[in-house]
Amino acid sequence: MSSEGGIGSCQIGANHACFSREHIMPSLTIRHVTTYRYRRPVAFGEHRMMLRPRDSHDQRVIEASLEISPEPRSLRFVQDAFGNHVGIARFSARSQELCVESIVCLEHSPWTPPTSILDDAAGTFPADYRADEMPDLAHCIERHQPDPGNEIGRWARQFLSSSGSISSVELLTRLSQGIKHGFLYRRREAKGIQPPVETLRLGHGSCRDFAVLMIEAARSLGLAARFASGYLAVPLKDPKEPPSGRGRGSTHAWAQIYLPGAGWIDFDPSRGSVGKIGLVTVAVVRDPHHAIPLHGTFIGSSLDHLDMEVQVTITPGTPEAISANPDAPVPTIRPTSLIDVGTRTRYVEGTHRTFVRSSFRAGTTSISSDPRDDRVFWPSGDREIRGCRMKIRVGYELVFDFPQSTPVITVLGTHFTRTSDIIVPDFLTTNPSVPISPYRDVFGNWCSRIVAPAGRICLSADGVVRDTGLPDVVAPSASQHAVEDLPAETLIFLLGSRYCETDLLSDFAWSLFEKSPPGWARVQAICDFVHRHIAFGYEHARATMTAWEAFNEGKGVCRDFAHLAITFCRCMNIPARYCTGYLGDIGMPPPYGPMDFAGWFEAYLGGRWYTFDARNNMPRIGRILIAQGRDAADVPITHTFGRSTLVSFKVWTDEVS
């Protein structure tokens, strides 16, 4: 039975202190400079830059700058379908040199759980993926590289245990170390990926070649694997690491393998290691061609290109601390744009027409340098502007009665994209105390498993989250993609699902919205209709109500508003996904109703996901994401495998001083 009246997303037990942000994370400053030189001035096409590290529980970007010469005509930032940060620059000037300098300061404190914990979570090989995981993992399981003779598959099977039983983690560790010790590392400047069959035959390759070899080997064994890229940083407190060499100042690539119960685990075959020690993640993708740090085009003869130079320096400390040392190679970041979050006023050195260096404090804001665009859009999905003056207390108390011992899955904690905003962790606690096993589902949501004893049990959490205090982003110019141009990862959010019957509502959707302008305006038209069509009331809540039923009955709660809007978007070929989380009454006039978990949705437009809320139908402040999925069936606050009675239900979301 699923309790889906609210929404949820994760939580980890209080005994898992590795996810707490109460400790101080060491700082790293990464300077990455790429320079292209040409024989004569050339024109430049669009350039895409994937240089900003991802935010997660073990790394957080606190300051970043990007400087480009010659000055681009426009510079904007988006998130791709994998959640990676991408900068897009367009040029009008010609030049004999193109230089892109990225300086990022981040807190970096990776933690690798003991093998025994990973073994217990991941279980034995072969991996037993759940049926509901398979649609999302399928593309990461299928082979991507040619191997007509299954050479890689035969090579991978040598690492299986002769006794017939082996843990999934042990198998992958053997595979990673087998590549490290069995192949010769060679730095390769040539573009592209060496086919893994060729790596197998040659016996040597670069880090990206080894990563692809391990990924294809894991896939040949039926495991979901993806490509990770970023930087290789020397552990700050490891005296065995040399002060220079391959470990410092280099881009890097490795593999991530998805294991049931353990989630995505990092394996670095270049070093034979497990976990993220020394790794700064910039991008995770299904195919390495989607993770190029910098790529674009120039207009001219092929003979015009002279050379390319890449310099990467990774230094302990913040830019300010480094600048205090005259021998430090990393310059101080000089902000040219300051955003006063409290008053939402934009201060720019000069005017927006001359704004080239985008300087970001504690994150990245999408600021356009196009002279035609004087707006500032504030990303809401990943809450990138983090210097905010608002703190929000979030939490819940759920009391259940169980007639017998019953397994339970909970999705009840702050989403991993908000981890760096957590001031007081909202760890799941139980009374009476029971063991809690955390894991991440296929959508990346944190979840917990418990076995509730017979009788009464209380599930609770109480945390504090930092927020920008800014309303949801509004981007009227966000365009709609043709279906054939959509990233493959978004296609699942075009299909019907448990609560979103696209087959039943398709004709209605086209009759209602066919004439609305495609893109943002069409999604807003859908929200306007749903907001008018459904009467809100908690007395209308029904765990089994679908979008079709909400459309016909004209009543429901927030999740029914979201389900109907999602279904209409999908019918109109716009990917849409369900979101659940906290949304209080911050910034709204009284009277205030009873607090509950909230449901809203995100639509994929203009190369990124945008927040929409058909229930409130206006930008809101203080939205704290818990989980994302196809619909509420993917993210129930609790899923009980047996009979249960919900005795009491309390949720709070309050601004605190």
Q: Span 27-35, mean pLDDT? A: 92
Token look-up 């004893």 returns 453
The model's confidence at residue 429, banded by pLDDT at 50, 70 and 90, is very high
For the chain, how big is the Rg over CA atoms in Å? 25
Confidence of residue 145 (pLDDT cuts 50, 70, 90): confident
pLDDT value of residue 369 = 29
Distance from C-alpha of 278 to C-alpha of 217, rounded to nearest angstrom: 24
**If you average pLDDT over every residue of the chain, what do you get?**
81
Q: Which region among 16-20, 478-482, 602-606 has the lowest average model confidence (pLDDT)? A: 16-20
- Six-digit token pair at 172? 């992958």
DSSP for 279-310 reads EEEEEEESSGGG--SEEEEEES-GGGEEEEEE
Q: How many of the other CB atoms lie within 10 Å of CB of 656?
A: 10
Cα 528 to Cα 583: distance, rounded to the nearest angstrom: 20
Q: Is the pLDDT of residue 331 over 70?
A: no
Q: Which has more confidence, 340 or 97?
A: 97
Q: How many beta carbons lie within 10 A of that of residue 236, not counting itself? A: 14
Q: Is 624 a residue whose pLDDT tops 90?
A: yes
496/70 Cα distance (integer angstroms): 47
Query: Is 130 buried (19+), middle (13-18) or exposed (0-12) by CB count in 10 A?
Result: exposed
Q: Which of 78-82, 240-244, 394-398 has the highest mean pLDDT?
A: 394-398
Q: What is the mean pLDDT of residues 156-179?
A: 88
Residues 6 or more apart whose Cβ sits within 8 Å of residue 534: 550, 554, 555, 556, 560, 561, 564, 614
Of the candidates 1, 7, 3, the one whose C-alpha atom is nearest the C-alpha of residue 583 is 7
The torsion angle over the Cα atoms of residues 233, 235, 236 and 240, rounded to 10 degrees, is -120
pLDDT at 388 over 70: no
Q: Which two tokens stand for residue 95?
A: 């030049």
* For residues 135-155, average pLDDT: 87
Domains along the chain with CATH numbers: 27-109+293-377 (2.60.40.2250), 115-277 (3.10.620.30), 483-620 (3.10.620.30)
Q: What is the pLDDT of residues 211-270, one digit of tens each?
A: 999 999 999 998 999 999 999 975 433 334 444 433 356 899 999 999 988 889 999 999
What average pLDDT does range 54-79 have in this prediction? 92
Residue 378 scores a pLDDT above 50 = no
At residue 133, the pLDDT reads 86
Identify whether the C-beta of residue 10 lies closer than 8 Å to the C-beta of residue 447.
yes
Cα-Cα end-to-end distance for the chain: 39
In this structure, how many other beta carbons lie within 10 angstroms of the beta carbon of residue 650? Answer: 13
pLDDT at 511 over 80: yes
Instruction: Assign 165 a pLDDT band (cuts: 50, 70, 90).
Output: confident
pLDDT at 240: 40
pLDDT tens-digit readout, 103-133? 999 988 876 666 666 666 667 888 888 888 8
- Average pLDDT of span 602-622: 94
pLDDT at 228: 97
* pTM for the model: 0.49
Rounded (10°) angle between helices 502-513 and 520-533: 110
